Structure 1
Amino acid sequence: MEQEFYRGLAQRVRGMAEKADPFTRRRLLDLAKRYDSRGGTARSGTTERPLPRPPTTPPASSFSGPGEA
């Protein structure tokens, strides 16, 4: 029952994405993908973008010179 609910949501969101601007369309299609995964179906043919890697070097300190009192 819950799977059918999420599949239905994914289908409705995809229908809205067809009429949306490019930015909103991408967001709606991502949402539909999440609903598909909850509904037990995964769409093939779509590639996911990897998350950006965190910086490996620490940020520069504001106290970079010799210590002053």
Structure 2
Amino acid sequence: MLDDEFNEQRAKILRELAEQADPFIKKRILNLVQRYEPRRKPMPIDERLASRGDNVDK
């Protein structure tokens, strides 16, 4: 729980910093923000589709 709060706060701070940065630095900061954003948990439908084995993304 504390890790999630830390990551959310860090991502917020980095987004605020990116707003003030030049375009090159802004892009790099926003890439860093992705490390702190929570990972999306797969929905049950995603898990069922992944287990079917007929993935067209290959």
Work out whether the TM-score is over 0.5: yes
TM-score range, shorter-chain basis?
Answer: 0.5 to 0.7
In the other structure, the counterpart of 1:12 is 13
Look at both structures and tell me which one has the larger radius of gyration over its CA atoms: 1
- Identity over the aligned pairs, expressed in percent? 38
For 1:3, give the aligned amino acid: D
The whole-number CA distance in structure 2 between the counterparts of 1:29 and 1:41 is 16
Aligned-residue offset at 1:34:
1.0
In the other structure, the counterpart of 1:53 is none
In terms of fraction of residues, the more helix-rich structure is 2
Q: Where has structure 1 moved over 3 Å in runs of 4 or more?
A: none
The whole-number CA distance in structure 2 between the counterparts of 1:41 and 1:18 is 23
The whole-number CA distance in structure 2 between the counterparts of 1:12 and 1:41 is 18
* Gapped regions of structure 1 (runs ≥ 5): 43-69
Output the TM-score relative to the length of structure 2: 0.62
| CA shift in 2, pair 1:41/1:8, >3 Å | farther
Output the TM-score relative to the length of structure 1: 0.53
How many residues get paired? 39
In the other structure, the counterpart of 2:56 is none
The whole-number CA distance in structure 2 between the counterparts of 1:41 and 1:16 is 22
